[in-house]
A and B are shown apart, each in its own frame.
Chain A
Amino acid sequence: AQSVSQHNHHVILSEAASLELGCNYSYGGTVNLFWYVQYPGQHLQLLLKYFSGDPLVKGIKGFEAEFIKSKFSFNLRKPSVQWSDTAEYFCAVFTYFGTGTSLTVIP
């Protein structure tokens, strides 16, 4: 069965710092990969997705993620975070979700 690991459970950053959230999965075949975000008081929504093609995908609000097949990873990055990025971030392989990473950005 597929499993998704997010090793960072809580991340605290100052505004303008760079962000990288780790995501590893266990599945040997072709994968559909997603990052979802849940802002405080809001529902989960799609941040970005990878199905095939360029392994560097760009999503909304300046986020990007890189699919590295050899490492079974799909890490999320943003060069300069903002206070409004404070949220819970979930990595998913197909419909299997990681435990989430809580990001707090300090103004």
Chain B
Amino acid sequence: GAGVSQSPSNKVTEKGKDVELRCDPISGHTALYWYRQSLGQGLEFLIYFQGNSAPDKSGLPSDRFSAERTGGSVSTLTIQRTQQEDSAVYLCASSRNSPLHFGNGTRLTVT
């Protein structure tokens, strides 16, 4: 069946621009996670959505980062006024219970 789909797969942007990253989870998965993967840093938790509950935003590194999940399905991660340190692979994962099913990620490069 279809897995977690993320778009775009690669994004190059200039410092100061805003970017939007999209995640289509597996149908029926109520939980959706965003992680950031930087070289040598492992997976950094960003935000977690579970059903209709308020999201857990405890991992967002600054107020430039925000995410929403519309209709309990598609999610968008927005980074405003991008900085070079935002360059990383942004991973989305979804689950029904456990474990997590990951997408291929969006590689963001801020120049």
Residues of chain A touching chain B, judged by Cβ–Cβ distance below 8 Å, are 6, 9, 32, 34, 36, 42-46, 49, 51, 90, 92, 95-100
Interfacial chain B residues near A98, Cβ < 8 Å: 42
- Contact between A43 and B42, CB atoms less than 8 A apart: no
**Cβ contact within 8 Å between A97 and B42:** yes
Q: Is B90 an interface residue (CB 8 A)?
A: no
The chain A residue with its CB closest to the CB of B48 is A95
Contact B42 A49 (CB under 8 A): no
User: Distance (Å) between the CB of B5 and the closest chain A CB?
Assistant: 11
Contact: B42 with A46, CB < 8 Å?
A: no
Q: Output the nearest chain B residue to A45 by Cβ-Cβ distance.
A: B102
Q: A49 to B99: give the CA distance in the assembly, Å.
A: 8
B interface, size bucket: 10 to 19
| Chain A residue at minimal CB-CB distance from B104 | A43
Stretch at the interface among B12-20, B33-41, B61-69: B33-41
B105 within 8 A of A: yes
Nearest-CB residue, chain B, relative to A101: B42
**Contact status B40-A43, CB under 8 Å:** no
| Minimal beta-carbon separation of B82 from chain A (angstroms) | 24
| B42 engages A99 (CB within 8 Å) | yes
Given contacts A32-B98, A34-B99, A43-B102, contact A99 B45 (CB under 8 A): no
Contact partner of A97 (CB less than 8 A), chosen from B4, B35, B104, is B35
Does B91 count as interface, using CB distance less than 8 angstroms?
yes
Minimum Cβ distance to chain A for residue B43 (Å):
4
